[in-house]
Chains A and B, each alone.
Chain A
Amino acid sequence: MCLAIPVQVTELLDGDMAKVSLDGVQKVISLALVEDVQVGDYVILHVGYALNKLDPEEAQKTLELLAQAGVGAPS
């Protein structure tokens, strides 16, 4: 039900709409629920609407935490 996926904005369109690419497939979605989205940004797409922008710095931090969590294990 709440399937939502990260997609990259490739073009801004009129009326708060945007083109996004999803694994190479183009789709038109609504940006009416988010602010300041630029071409190149990743957004979380849910039932045709961008719910939020993805924060690349936070994503990087999380990846580092994951790597650390994996190292903590005695092997």
Chain B
Amino acid sequence: MKYVDEYRDGKLARQIAATITAEARDNRDYRFMEFCGGHTHAIARYGLEDLLPNNVRMIHGPGCPVCVLPVGRMDDAIKLAQRPDVTLCTYADLMRVPGSQGLSLIKAKAAGADIRMVYSTLDALRIAQEEPDRKVVFFAIGFETTTPPTALAIVQAQKLGLKNFFVFCNHVLTPAAIQNILESPDVRDLGLVRIDGFIGPAHVSTVIGTRPYDFFAEEFQKPVVVAGFEPLDVMQAILMLVRQVNDGRCEVENEYSRAVTPDGNLKAQDLVSSIFELRDMFEWRGLGDVPYSALKLRDAYAAFDAEKVFDITTQPAQDNPACECGAILRGVKKTTDCKLFGTVCTPETPMGSCMVSSEGSCAAHWTYGRFRDATEKQAS
């Protein structure tokens, strides 16, 4: 596939790794956080950590919207789906995410709730058109990448005069989360994670551009390199970060310039801001309440807002207390620190969200990392 295969060359990946090894200074270590689940997935899938020298370590960040959706909102969605008049449309990723009391959408569906997996908001719109007697609720989640398609669906529903299409909005914002990781007092409780730089999101940045990261680079004196999701993109970004650290630079650099510009997609940004506005506060799994980190529908679109139409007030709910997702999402703990990993908690029976999404740290490690643990154990 063009624009994919040429960024997966294993030989070149090893050569870039050799350059990283040569340039990384022996007298220090380098700790970089990849914010995005897409990068976590690429690092695990291609075994990139094995290519890196020991003094260059990757910390997996909270960058997957499935992983950070709080249990309370999952419960809301399950309750919505259980209403006899509602058809809940959802991306497949959410089906297995555990709510409280061990319930999930997949279990609710087995018990008779009308839940449809959709690939696109276009499918949800079509269902609403074809089944005017059903109240079709789209379970909207995602970062800046996934928000414009939701906004467009609302515009489209309005144009079509649909009265039975609603959006349960859980869209969240990446920059707010990065800032939270850097300055939250909670993180201090868990033990401070020292981070020397960030790999910035790929597809989030196609929409928002690279400008929003300027603030971090400056305010927190951390280098940021926006990178694509292919293995060579990630290796190159790591090399660029090592060079910035060595030079004492804190800049925003763009490795993914084939798809990301400084301004991003302005048409998509305008559309999003015409439909959505900031919430004062939103809970993130693992990070807790983060101010101005999520979006809700503007009052002008209240008729499409499932939260208003169905009177949803989110109840706080607890994760499984043994699940370490919270600390893992912040980069304070590793998947293998969790007692439930691989025993009680697997992708078949996930206890926490990090095991559900293929971009979650626990799921990525389960799928690609276990054999490495085994060989490391044998070797030591």
Contact = CB atoms under 8 A, between A and B. Distances in A.
A61 B38 CA distance: 23
B70 interface: no
Majority SS at the chain A contact face? mixed
Contacts of A23: 1
A42 to B, nearest CB: 6
A6 B15 contact: no
A10 interface: no
B119 A33 contact: no
Interface residues of A, number: 39
Nearest to B265: A52
B93 A1 contact: yes
A73 B206 contact: no
A2 B259 contact: no
Given A54-B259, A66-B16, A33 B268 contact: yes
B359 A59 contact: no
Contacts of A52: 206-207, 259-260, 265
Contact of A71 (B2, B15, B152): B15
Interface string A41-75: 01010111101101110110111011101111111
B154 to A, nearest CB: 12
Contacts of B258: 54-56, 58-59, 62
B306 interface: no
Nearest to B9: A66
Contacts of A51: 145, 148, 203, 206-207, 265, 268
Contacts of A42: 2-3
Contacts of B21: 73
B142 interface: yes
B271 A47 contact: no
A70 B152 contact: no
B257 A49 contact: no
A34 interface: yes
B349 interface: no
Given A61-B257, A72-B22, A44 B120 contact: no
Interface of A: 1-6, 8, 23, 30, 32-35, 42, 44, 46-49, 51-52, 54-56, 58-59, 61-63, 65-67, 69-75
